[in-house]
Structure 1
Amino acid sequence: MKGIIGFFSDLQPYILMGFVIIIIILIITLLVVLKSINRLETRYRKLTRGINNENLEKIIMSYLDNIDKVKEDTEKIKNQQQEINNNLKQCIQKVSILRYKAFEDIGSDLSFSIVLLDNSNDGVVLTGIYGRSDSTVYAKPIDKGISRYDLSEEEEEVLYNAIKKQ
């Protein structure tokens, strides 16, 4: 027994150094674990902000319900946007105007032709002819960029200018 005690008393400084190294390693491990727990707690608080004493399952279900509602709202908005785009194609998108002298004896460019077309080149040509004694305004329908009625040079020019607009 004295041999064993003597053997350990000779190794006592080394054993003490070993324990000190193990304690230092344990302290470092403890600090790393505490830091990790702190980060985890911060994430948990961020996840559960605004919710009092509810379990995690309720919180996650609440978030999933919110996501489903946002998906529904997004789908509604998408459908409304598509409907607006379809309606917009039928609105006037191409306009062209030309002023000119219908008669040589009239001083100014008081006559005009206006073309109003939608995306499909459907619309109308409005023409106003100004004369000394009277003034006339008439309209000619346009279907797919073509009129059923004969067009004057000015009306053809203004129709061509409107069609080539994008």
Structure 2
Amino acid sequence: MTCWVGSKSVVNVQVAVEDNFLDYYVIIGNIKEILSQYTDITGKGVVPPKWSFGYWQSKISYKSAEETLEIAKSLREAEIPCDVIHLDTHWFKEEGPKDFEKPDAEPEVDLTDIFNMASDQFKGEIDNLKGKIDALKKELEKKDESLKSMKRRKVHKIVPKKNVKLAPPKIKIPVLKTLIKP
């Protein structure tokens, strides 16, 4: 379907459809009613989990696991509720396991202490996330394999069918006339 909009005249909206039928919705009401009716058609938004509305601790990047653990400890000691400590990508080695890099053979730091300080609600989200990440990695691996095996495809130009009418459809709208008695 192609729509031409943006005309300065309210009567100049054109629609071209490559079919004999068109579902057309007219929604009227105040903004609250319109949004409600629109989302009845398109689907309602999902409310994010409760923890996502809490406090998020973040900075450009933490340099080490020790620094991150110190931040978590200081938040606990100050009794500041914290639902998320955002770890940026500066400490990722590459794609794959997300462990802090160990310069100069620094001993590996277990991030379990940081996770143990997380709220109970967030711990469940961490476990859910780990499962989702593993599933996504497997899915990406399958897609990577299928992409490697694909041969280079030609680009095809898409042109409209010869019998497609590109003119706007004629829509007959009944005109209401006020009857005046002579």
TM-score (norm 1): 0.22
Structure richer in strand, relative to its length? 1
Task: Return the TM-score normalized by structure 2.
Answer: 0.20
Q: Which has the higher contact order (CA 8 A, sep 6+)?
A: 2
Larger Rg: 1
